[in-house]
Amino acid sequence: MEQFGKFILGLILVVVSVIFGGFVLSKLWDWFMVYAFALPSISIPVALGISMTVTLITGAKESKDDMETCRDFFEKIIKIVARQAMFLLMGWIVYLFL
């Protein structure tokens, strides 16, 4: 039962991470691409699609050696969300100077 709980928690973390990543991309796009190139604004689902497409094209893959334990998996997801939050914060600071 404990493994099932970890699986559900991991699934929730992945979904939250992906949606948050789409939010961050859509905000950065609005702040910089719309401003600099007069491109249309994008929604979170469109940002998710762009992100998945770029990941597919660039071939970003996870190595099984990188995540040997459940703890490694959770740490990796938390690092991804923290990185996204840092990019959002840095982008917002830069946006304030526009």
Dump the DSSP string for 13-80: HHHHHHHHHHHHHHHHIIIIIHHHH-PPP--HHHHHHHHHHHHHHHT----GGG--SHHHHHHHHHHH
Helix (H, G, I), strand (E, B) or coil at 1: coil
How confident is the model over 32-82, as pLDDT tens digits?
999 999 999 999 999 999 988 988 898 766 655 555 687 888 888 899 999
Model pTM?
A: 0.84
Distance of CA 17 to the CA centre of its chain: 6
Average pLDDT over residues 86-98: 96
Q: What is the mean pLDDT of residues 7-18?
A: 90
